[in-house]
């Protein structure tokens, strides 16, 4: 109770309240505009948050992060265009409901499911905080190094079908972090006698280039789309009652979101897929999924909104971001000399509780805002793409220049913007570069400090948590190798079946194999489509 009161005392400031309001409303607006997304908004706002108090700056960013998925459901349901990448699964059942005249019901259900997922996640993690406070001090340099390594491996293996390119991009991010003065002996690395590289490549410059500028270029080269949206009639409160009729789906989906959010590199997509698959397999009407199922909509929206609070666990407890958005927030901590990790839970637990309370209040504010302002809010869907592109372009360059008043930073940001644009056009991931930069720096520092007490390779994993993390790394790699081998085997069998389908025996065998392959690969194809779905065209 004392921790709770201390957290409320930290939040009971006028600037924190304004930050909560701006973050919650701004996040909904950002999410509702296809083509922007929270990553772009957070990247643009990062330079401004450096001059704020840590709790104020982080509250704004958390507000955008947590509420953007609420707003992203609006265009996903109304015009079949996800406002954010993680709302792609919402289109499967949300838009079919709109097509049969149930847009108000779909939006109400999405808001209610999102609210339940967000609140469930925060409450679970507040109850779990005392355990984290006891476990976090057990992580030394070696454990944090292994946890960071596990995070990079999970990020790479999560990009199914693009594993090699994800590994290459993560390695590129790690290399970018090594440019400049190394942290121990301060010798120059990869500066090529260029003075501007001596200070290294600024993470914020890379973030603004890869996310904001690349998206601006993408929007500017496209065409403006005309959308027609019908005004909603009636209230939006019925979703709360309908959600209460599906407590099992909502509870399990929120649990998946919490568990997947705490694992670095996994996040919303895996949580959504697992929740949606569970809901479909246990439903009395599985055929309705993808055709306007209320259970499918609940599973998708509950899972993705349960992730943001859970994703703060590895960031706060270990200082390890699990995705690009939490990696950006990490820079706010560093600017204010607030070092996330075991010491934060030991020495500043009220600050951690205040962040979770901010997320709890945020969900309440967003739900109230959406229930009374959706008809006005849906107008932002009609904003032209090219206008958005110009606004993002201007704000991005202003943000980059304000960091160090450097034209060189603007040039570097433009270079990374072109790189990000090329990656978007090729449907290749950008996130591994950012996580490579952040986790690569953590790994280098922790490896150097951990090796001081290591005499043999086995000494590196001679402690329980280090051994567990090492075993987890081996398991993840083993499962990935097995999955790649099975995919190769199934592809080979499919080619063999197609080759022999001209014969009667081959046709019979082909039918049997096709059935078996369809059943065996159904889950795998659905998972792959989650990661390769071309949602970046609108994000």
pLDDT tens-digit map of 295-308? 888 888 888 888 88
Q: How many residues does the chain have?
A: 539
What's the confidence (pLDDT) of residue 404?
A: 78
Write out pLDDT tens, residues 335-370: 777 777 777 777 777 888 888 888 888 888 888 888
Backbone CA torsion sign across 361, 362, 367, 368? positive
Please state, in angstroms and as integers, the Cα–Cα distance from residue 232 to each residue in 77, 92, 106, 372, 502, following that order.
12, 20, 11, 12, 55
What per-residue confidence (pLDDT) applies to 357? 86
Per-residue pLDDT band for 530 (boundaries 50, 70, 90) equals very low
pLDDT at 68 exceeding the cut of 50: yes
Contact between 260 and 310 (Cβ < 8 Å)? yes
- Rounded to the nearest angstrom, the gap between the alpha carbon of residue 222 and the centroid of all alpha carbons in its chain is 25
User: Does residue 386 have a pLDDT over 50?
Assistant: yes
Instruction: Identify which has the larger pLDDT, 361 or 315.
Output: 361
440 confidence band (pLDDT: 50, 70, 90): confident
Evaluate if residue 34 carries a pLDDT over 60: yes
Lowest mean pLDDT among 30-34, 135-139, 209-213, 523-527: 523-527
The per-residue pLDDT for 70 is: 83
The answer to whether residue 414 scores a pLDDT higher than 80 is yes
- The pTM of this model reads 0.74
Euclidean distance between CA atoms 286 and 267, whole angstroms: 25
The Cα–Cα gap between 435 and 318 comes to 15
Burial of 78 from C-beta contacts in 10 A (0-12 / 13-18 / 19+): buried
pLDDT at 54 > cutoff 60: yes
Least confident window among 252-266, 366-380, 447-461, 493-507: 493-507
- What is the SS3 assignment for 289-335? CCCCCHHHHHHHHHHHHHHHHHHHHHHHHHCCCCCHHHHHHHHHHHH
Cα-trace Rg, the chain? 24
The first and second tokens of residue 227, run together, are: 């959308």
Distance of CA 484 to the CA centre of its chain: 24
* pLDDT value, residue 419: 92
The answer to whether residue 119 scores a pLDDT higher than 80 is yes
Per cent of the chain over pLDDT 70 is 86
State both tokens at 328: 């950006």
Between residues 173 and 454, the one the model is more confident about: 173
How far apart, in whole angstroms, are the C-alpha atoms of residue 303 and residue 275?
7
pLDDT category, 449, cuts 50, 70, 90?
confident
Contact 311, 322 (CB under 8 A): yes
Q: Which two tokens stand for residue 492?
A: 């080979």
The band of 525, judged by pLDDT with boundaries at 50, 70 and 90, is: very low
How many CB atoms neighbour CB 491 within 10 A? 12
The pLDDT score that the predictor gives to residue 10 is: 79
pLDDT confidence bin for 228, thresholds 50/70/90: low
Q: How confident is the model at residue 225 (pLDDT cuts 50, 70, 90)?
A: low
The 10s digit of each residue's pLDDT in 261-301 is 777 666 667 777 778 888 888 888 878 877 888 888 888 88
Mean pLDDT (whole number) for 104-126: 86
Of 130 and 394, more confident: 394
Percent with pLDDT over 90 in the chain: 2
Sorting pLDDT into bands at 50, 70 and 90, what band is 172?
Answer: very high
């Amino acid at each position: 109770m004392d921790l709770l009161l201390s957290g409320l005392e930290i939040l009971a400031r006028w600037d924190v309240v304004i930050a909560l309001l701006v973050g919650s409303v701004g996040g909904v607006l950002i999410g509702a505009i296809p083509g922007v997304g929270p990553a772009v908004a957070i990247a643009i706002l990062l330079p401004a948050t450096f001059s704020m108090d840590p709790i104020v700056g982080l509250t704004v960013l958390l507000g955008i992060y947590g509420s953007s998925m609420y707003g992203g459901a609006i265009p996903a349901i109304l015009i079949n265009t996800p406002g954010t990448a993680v709302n792609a699964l919402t289109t499967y059942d949300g838009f079919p409901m709109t097509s049969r005249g149930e847009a108000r019901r779909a939006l109400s259900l999405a808001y209610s499911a999102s609210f339940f997922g967000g609140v469930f996640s925060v409450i679970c993690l507040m109850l779990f905080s005392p355990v984290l406070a006891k476990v976090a001090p057990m992580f030394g340099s070696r454990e944090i190094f292994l946890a960071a390594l596990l995070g990079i491996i999970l990020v790479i293996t999560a990009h199914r079908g693009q594993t090699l390119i994800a590994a290459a991009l993560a390695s590129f991010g790690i290399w970018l972090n090594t440019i400049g003065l190394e942290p121990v002996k301060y010798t120059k690395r990869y500066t090529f006698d260029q003075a501007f590289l001596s200070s290294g490549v600024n993470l914020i410059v890379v973030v603004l280039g890869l996310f904001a500028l690349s998206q601006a270029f993408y929007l500017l080269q496209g065409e403006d789309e005309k959308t027609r949206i019908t005004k909603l009639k009636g209230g939006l409160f019925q979703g709360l009652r309908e959600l209460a009729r599906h407590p099992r789906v909502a509870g399990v989906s929120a649990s998946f979101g919490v568990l997947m959010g705490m694992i670095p590199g996994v996040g919303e997509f895996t949580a959504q897929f697992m929740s949606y698959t569970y809901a479909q397999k246990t439903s009395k009407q599985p055929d309705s999924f993808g055709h306007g199922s209320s259970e499918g909509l609940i599973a998708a929206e509950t899972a993705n909104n349960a992730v943001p609070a859970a994703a703060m666990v590895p960031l706060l407890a270990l200082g390890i971001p699990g995705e690009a958005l939490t990696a950006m927030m990490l820079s706010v901590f560093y600017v204010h000399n607030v070092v996330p990790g075991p010491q934060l839970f030991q020495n500043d637990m009220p600050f951690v509780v205040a962040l979770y309370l901010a997320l709890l209040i945020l969900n309440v504010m967003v739900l109230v805002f959406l229930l009374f302002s959706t008809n006005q809010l849906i107008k932002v869907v009609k904003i032209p793409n090219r206008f958005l592109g110009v606004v993002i372009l201007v704000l991005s360059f202003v943000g980059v220049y304000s960091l160090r008043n450097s034209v060189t930073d603007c040039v570097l940001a433009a270079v990374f913007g072109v790189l990000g644009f090329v990656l978007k056009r090729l449907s290749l991931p950008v996130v591994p570069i950012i996580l490579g930069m952040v986790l690569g720096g953590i790994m280098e520092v922790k490896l150097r400090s951990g090796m001081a007490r290591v005499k043999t390779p086995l000494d590196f994993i001679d402690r329980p948590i280090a051994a567990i993390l090492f075993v987890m790394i081996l398991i993840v790699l083993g499962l990935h190798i097995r999955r790649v081998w099975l995919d190769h085997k199934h592809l080979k069998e499919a080619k063999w079946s197609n080759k022999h389908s001209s014969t009667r025996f081959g046709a019979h065998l082909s039918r049997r194999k096709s059935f078996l392959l369809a059943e065996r690969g159904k889950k795998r194809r659905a998972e792959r489509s989650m990661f390769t779905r071309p949602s970046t065209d609108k994000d």
